Structure 1
């Protein structure tokens, strides 16, 4: 299933977005609702809270008096830790139960007010942030929820900043506009990105865009970091390191709008153990690419041995953010060249200009061809040039194979 994280500041309009998603068929898991369910009268959660904080946290009817609990639970770090140790496992267990009941082809939207604050974004396939100016949010809290202004400002100040949310956002839904505008944006998102993403995830298909060179996007670096965070969760200890490589990792360089990421592993047997975990995270395997093209190495006849250039390749199932994930063994010539080539381009303006011209020629060679033919034509031009610069790049970094 496709797992979507939904969040935004207080008063941003998450409920409006959630309703629109449910109308289109999403399964909604609301963390606020779950947080109330697990401490309802008669639950083990409420019993544990009263044992920890006393019966003073109960209303006359035996239900939880939330302001009374807050007064006790947030007075110091120890009390807050006690509260979290009781409620967080219960919320997690109930959330897991709800996920287990969802259909295999479901698009599950998890509404989590503190998704950014609790560092949950890497556990989602995609994160939607509802964005509204802070002053608008404050006004909404005052007018529609009856919250005193000082309290509204204090609550918003205690949450993540706009910049922190932007850093976590795969999709930023602007809710500053007229009525109905954000719902229209949600419907477009559902049709153009979420439904195809889920279908690709279920079928195990990676997005493979046609080779087309675009001007550099200053958002590439931040987008890469979001994907790297997901890959770290999926790969766990198998990943020695994860790097943003390729043209999109070089500031100011025109490139295909496809991120290249490299997971360095101890060996490719380890890479195979995380194949399914990467697919579930949104990066299915592309099995036909099992090695890089060997680069010519004068004086080293073994350099053309394909086994030295073996790798695994995965791709993003998200049509809104194409990416390739290369898994290479630590110390292999392909792993070292990927890093050395990136650093060479970052440091050398002439190299960037030369590579830009090569890429434009490659894209021209691929223009008008069908998908696989276009890719082959594009790579043929680039690989010839890679061969010609391999010695320069390798010597510069001292990684020439021995």
Structure 2
């Protein structure tokens, strides 16, 4: 079994790549979705969040108080503090999912995460793929998708890495500056290339 990390800036198309891979049989873990789940279900993480951000982090019925946490993280400048608590929990769970997938005989497990390379290349991944797209295209896509202003998208983008400076950490780079169909075709090509070539020498490349 092979473990692959897929990353890229907001609106780069990394989720589209992963959705195509899911159709082909990959087990994809979306880090943002997993983080939201763990902030409610992981007792260890819950305790850490309450200690850091206060009792208001959760509603009395146990639900995550997202407005409070978003305010603390983004308006109080504590994004990195939040990441330092959540990311280790996500990493632990991904290892658990990967082990279960290996035992089940699955051929590929994927972690889709915008902040995958924040602390260098993760040691638990066999391959890393970066999806890149021109910034203006990314801002336009997300603005339309989320019905928000480009300014808000820019603010979110500024909290993410500059992936043009991280390509040395990736085995493959997918350039997404064409149509959606172009991206889907590149995604399918790369999936089959990885499945076919893994086990031999890994050749880096741009798609």
TM-score relative to the length of structure 1: 0.45
Q: Of the two structures, which has the highest relative contact order with CA contacts closer than 8 Å and spacing of 6 or more?
A: 2
* Residues 69-117 of structure 1: CA deviation (Å, up to 9, x unaligned): 132245356x844x34532332222111101101355212111211122
Report deviation, 1:123: 4.5
Q: Is residue 2:155 matched to residue 1:154?
A: yes
Distance 1:42 1:92, change over 3 A: closer
- Matched with 1:283 is none
- Matched with 1:6 is 6
| Contact in 2 for aligned 1:38/1:91 (Cα 8 Å) | yes
- Matched with 1:92 is 91
- Matched with 1:351 is none
- Matched with 1:30 is 30
Whole-angstrom CA distance in 2 between matches of 1:70 and 1:90: 19
Report deviation, 1:37: 1.4
Whole-angstrom CA distance in 2 between matches of 1:160 and 1:16: 20
Distance 1:57 1:182, change over 3 A: same
Superposed CA RMSD: 2.6
Q: Is residue 2:111 matched to residue 1:116?
A: no
After superposing the two structures, state which structure 1 stretch, 108-117 or 160-169, moved more: 160-169
| Contact in 1 for aligned 2:30/2:113 (Cα 8 Å) | yes
- Matched with 1:183 is 184
Matches within 5 A, 1:285-304: none
TM-score relative to the length of structure 2: 0.83
| Contact in 2 for aligned 1:16/1:183 (Cα 8 Å) | yes
**What SS does the aligned partner of 2:131 have?**
strand
- Matched with 1:265 is none
Distance 1:84 1:149, change over 3 A: closer
Q: Which has the larger radius of gyration?
A: 1
- Matched with 1:20 is 20
Q: Which runs of 5+ in 2 are unaligned?
A: none
Whole-angstrom CA distance in 1 between matches of 2:13 and 2:97: 24
Whole-angstrom CA distance in 2 between matches of 1:42 and 1:96: 15
- Matched with 2:46 is 46
Distance 1:86 1:121, change over 3 A: closer
**What SS does the aligned partner of 1:108 have?**
strand
Report deviation, 1:16: 0.9
Matches within 5 A, 1:226-245: none
**What SS does the aligned partner of 2:3 have?**
strand
**Equivalences, count:** 202
**What SS does the aligned partner of 1:4 have?**
strand
| Contact in 2 for aligned 1:20/1:187 (Cα 8 Å) | yes
Report deviation, 1:125: 2.2
